[in-house]
Amino acid sequence: MARTGPAERPLSPHLQIYKPSITMVMSILHRITGAALFFGTLLLVIALVALASGSSAYGTVQAIYGSIPGKLVLFGYSWALFHHMCGGIRHFVWDTGAGLERGTRMKLAWGTLFASLGLTVLAFVAYLAG
């Protein structure tokens, strides 16, 4: 009998087939942080519109953002921002055709993670000290 619909089996191997590698994890994280930052812009627009609306609106936003869950979200947002920025810089290197050798790309991937965590801690220390 002729097959009419698409095949039920997977046509190409997908994520679960592969052993996780740091380059793969950083690639996935780059997309996840990008998507998170997309929605994270709501945090910025809410704060700015509240600031433009007046002191009572801004006070409400300050109270929410300054609460423990609020601070946790902002901490996560700043890590996502730094991580996506560092991942972007890694992509600039790759765009030139450089850094694609096995050893170098592994170092770049780990470097992305350490740099983003370092920058997040730095910003947090600046927040506590400032």
Partner 1 sequence: MSQQSSSSLRTPLGRVRGLGAAKSGTDHFWKSRVTAVANVPLTIAFVVIMLMLSKRDYAGAVKLVGQPLVAILLLLFIGSATYHMRLGMQVIIEDYVHSEGKKVALLMLNTFFAIAVGLASAYAILKIGFAG
Q: Interface with partner 1 by CB under 8 A: which residues? A: 31, 34-35, 37-38, 41-42, 44-45, 48-49, 51-52, 55, 58-59, 62, 78, 81, 85, 88-89, 91-92, 95, 123, 126-127, 130
Residues 6+ apart with CB under 8 A from 99: 90, 93, 105, 108
> Which of 102/123 has CB closer to partner 1?
123
Nearest to 75, CA basis, from 127, 130, 129: 127
Name the minimum Å distance from CB 1 to partner 1: 26
Surface-to-core class of residue 27, CB atoms within 10 Å of its CB (0-12 exposed, 13-18 middle, 19+ buried) = middle
> Which of 25/48 has CB closer to partner 1?
48
